[in-house]
Amino acid sequence: MPAKSSRPVKVYCGHAQLRFTRPAVAAAIHALDAAAAPATDCNRGTWRLPAGEMSIAFLTDAALARLHGDFMDDPTTTDVITFPAAAAGHDQAGEVCISVDTARAYAAKHDRPFAEELTLYLVHGYLHLCGYDDRTPVTRRQMRGAERQAIAALRAARKMPAFALGS
C-alpha cells in the first residue's frame, strides 16, 4: 500500500461564488498521490506526479483567459491550464489553474453535477502535471482512461470534493 502523501497543496479561490474547503481539495490530491503507480511501475494507464508542492487556482473564465493569452498566446477561454515545475529537484510539482465558469457551463449544458465536473478538471490538471496530454487522438484516449481511473480512485477513497456555487 502506498505511503500517505504529505505533499504540500496550496489552494487559491479566485471565484467569488465557489464554495469548498481547502482541506477537502488537498485530501483529493493526497488520494490521487496514494493511488499513483510506484516509481518502478509507471507505465501507460498509471500516473505519478513529481514530488513537491502543488498549487491549485480556481478562477473565473476572464482570469483564465488572461493567463491563456499571456502564456500561450491564445486569449480565449479554456477549462484547465497547467504549469509544470521548471526543473527537477525544485520543491514544486506545478500549478493547475481551473475555470469554475467553464465547469459550470459544461455541467449545465450536459446535465452533470457541477461538483463532479469541477473535480474532473482538477484531475485533468493533475494528470497534465504527471505528463499526460490530450493533443492527439491517441493521447486523448490515454488521458480519458487515466481520468476515469483517477475519479474511481477518489470515489473509492471517499475524497470527492464537495464543490458548490453560492452567492
Residue 2 lies in a domain: no
Q: Which domain holds residue 23?
A: 9-162
Residue 94 lies in a domain: yes
Half-sphere exposure of 5 (CA within 13 A, CB side): 22
**Domain contains 51:** yes
The answer, yes or no, to whether residue 165 has pLDDT greater than 80, is yes
Residue 49 has pLDDT above 90, yes or no: no
pLDDT tens digit sequence for 140-162: 999 999 999 999 999 999 999 99
pLDDT at 38 over 80: no
> What is the rounded average pLDDT of the residues 52-64?
95
Residue 3: inside a domain, yes or no?
no
Total domains, the chain: 1
Specify the pLDDT at position 46.
65
Distance CA 58, CA 43 (A): 30
C-alpha to C-alpha distance for 107 and 156, rounded to whole angstroms: 22
Q: What is the pLDDT confidence band of residue 47, given thresholds at 50, 70 and 90?
A: confident
Q: Would you say residue 1 lies in a domain?
A: no
Asked if the model's pLDDT at residue 114 lies above 90, the reply is yes
What global pTM score does this model have? Answer: 0.90
Instruction: Summarize pLDDT for 115-128 with one digit per residue, the tens.
Output: 999 999 999 999 99
| CA quadruple 98, 102, 108, 109: dihedral sign | negative
Question: Is residue 120 one of the residues assigned to a domain?
Answer: yes
- Does position 107 have pLDDT exceeding 60, yes or no? yes
Can you give the CATH number for the domain in which 71 is found? 3.40.390.30
DSSP per-residue codes, 44-73 = TT---PPSSEEEEEEE-HHHHHHHHHHHHS
Q: Is the pLDDT of residue 1 over 60?
A: no
In a domain, 167, yes or no: no
* Residue 62: pLDDT band with limits 50, 70, 90: very high
Residue 45 has pLDDT above 70, yes or no: no
| Residue 146 covered by a domain | yes
